[in-house]
Amino acid sequence: MVTGAGSGMGRATAMRLAREGRPVGVLDIDKAGAEAAAAEITTGGGKALALVADVSDRAQVEGAAARLRDAFGPITILINNAALENFCPFPDITEDNWDRLMAVNLRGAYILVQVVLPDMLEGGWGRIVNLSAIGAQTGAPNMVHYAATKGGVIAMTRSLAVELGPKGITVNSVSPGFIDTPMARRAIDGDLFPVPYEQILAGYPIPRLGTAEEIAAACCFFASEDAGYITGQLLGVNGGAAT
Amino acid sequence: MSSGLNRLAGKVAIVTGAGQGIGEAIATGYAAEGAKVIVTGRTKSKLEDVVGRIEAAGGTALAIEALAGNREHAELTVNRALSEWGRVDALVNNAHTFTDYLPIEDAKMEANCNVDFQSAFFGSLQLMQLCYPHMVKQGGGSIINMGTGFSIRCEPGFLAYAASKEAIRALTKTAAREWGKQKIRVNTILPSALTPKAIWYLQGSGTYDAELARVALGRFGEPQDIAPTAIFLASDESYFVTGQTIGVEGGTTML
């Protein structure tokens, strides 16, 4: 199950998991995006099911999980990628805005884990990868609410790792830096960063935008059998911007 | 253990401390993924056994007797990689001569620190310095250094070990920043794979159960648990990953 799989990093991760031979639930709130990604996987010979749900809505997530189980069996890998971002100076953040980001980014991840967990417990094997963000590590101006949700994701990852480790379930986080995704392009095009983005990149050890495929590679590594002794870890895929 | 997907095809790797344990597992994993591997260590017979096993499995490796922290040995090692195979793409600084439990106030502490620092910290630094110009010339490389969760936790009695390992993390992160633009990536693995000596120590000190209780996955690691992460970090899959510390220790340390 990959959430936010209709575009960007989630899409790249779903594609990659499918290439590795795994049937994939392509979940997104954007129906067209989910269906296009699933169709591309299916056309390429993989197995995919488009699922439309708002991750902050438990009933919708339960419905999507049930469809995925019916199609492909127990859900043993979860990539919690769906997230909203928003740029806003701190004094102007409204409670509605705060609550919406918390609902999607943090409560959504929590709901997803709870909904698919019985499958993992039953099989005694599971892989959960939660996407956090560099802003939670370094701080991010005009993104206090967003960074706070991602900080919550990191704390949730560690606590889940400790609680679920004895059950054979690993829980790790990939923390993307500045990645070339539709979400980042909207921010660049909207001139939403406090300094020109080229200036941000110039300060990075690897001075370029990361790619969605590079995030997908890290997610799939954590999801693989190879990473069976890794849990509770935060892997920055950020070109060295935060170490 | 290995996927055999040739993820390191065409690459040349140096793995130090590869006569046994984690180093051996990484060298074997690299060879299975298509890399040509130089295995270094102190005991020639062990190195030759490792090379023999790699070759028997269809891989390519050669053994060099080298003491970590000895600059002449480091030069011989890198020169050999270049003379044999013309390049060096991955460097795994795994060798570490570590000292035993010792309280800080003990008069031998400074000498102990020197042992750990010379082998592990200076050993890593020397090979990194020697590989650097070649990695620049070839357009990049991946360096993997070994830290330890002990240096995050700072358990009593292990200052020399912990301090040298934490110095290695500083080396990793500084090099990641200095060399990133040359496409040289540098990362640290915090491995946990108990050697027979470590098990003996834990049992002798009555801390075996307490240590195991810290491991979220409920078991101590094996060298084979560590190798896949070293493969990932050496491969082009991790092309945007640098300066990171990743624990492969069952969820004991969470950074």
pLDDT value at A197 more than 90: no
Q: Is A125 exposed, middle or buried (0-12, 13-18, 19+ CB in 10 A)?
A: middle
Do the beta carbons of residue B237 and residue A221 sit within 8 Å? yes
pLDDT at position B3 is 54
Chain A residue with minimal CA distance to B225? A229
Q: Which amino acid is at B142?
A: S
The pLDDT value recorded for residue A149 is 98
* pLDDT, greater one: A203 or A111: A111
User: Quick one: pLDDT band at residue B2, thresholds 50, 70, 90?
Assistant: very low
- Locate the chain B residue with the closest alpha carbon to A205: B180
A50 CB contacts (<8 Å, ≥6 apart)? A26, A28, A31, A34, A35, A37, A38, A39
B225 with A228: Cβ contact below 8 A: yes
In the structure, what pLDDT confidence band is assigned to residue A16 with cuts at 50, 70 and 90? very high
The mean pLDDT of chain B is 95
Pick from A10, A82, A84, A83: which is nearest to A48 by CA?
A: A10
Q: In degrees, to the nearest 5, what angle opens at C-alpha A232 toward C-alphas A230 and A234?
A: 95
d(C-alpha B253, C-alpha B255), whole Å: 6
Q: Which of A217, A224, A243 sits opposite B176 (nearest CB)?
A: A243
Q: Residues in chain B whose beta carbon is closer than 8 A to a beta carbon of chain A?
A: 3, 172-173, 176-181, 183, 185, 192, 215-218, 221, 225-226, 228-229, 231-232, 237-251, 254-255
pTM exceeding the 0.95 threshold for the entire prediction:
no
pLDDT of residue A74: 98
For residue A26, pLDDT over 50 is answered with yes
pLDDT tens-place string over residues A171-194 = 999 999 999 998 888 888 888 887
Residue range A135-152, pLDDT digits in tens: 999 999 999 999 999 999
Calculate how close chain A gets to B103, using CA atoms only, in Å.
Answer: 31
- Facing A218 at nearest CB: one of B241, B248, B251: B241
Which residue among B228, B240, B251 sits closest to A161, beta carbon to beta carbon?
B251
pLDDT tens per residue across span A35-47:
999 999 999 999 9
Mean pLDDT value across residues B218-242: 96
pLDDT tens digits for range B149-200: 989 999 899 999 999 999 999 999 999 999 999 999 999 999 998 877 778 8
Return the residue of A nearest to B171 by Cα. A243
Question: 3-state DSSP: chain B helix, strand, coil percent, rounded to 5?
Answer: 50, 15, 35
* CB-based contact A206 B249, cutoff 8 Å: no
* Active site positions of B, annotated: 161
| Residue linked to tokens 């009555």 | B206
| Confidence at residue B200, expressed as pLDDT on a 0 to 100 scale | 82
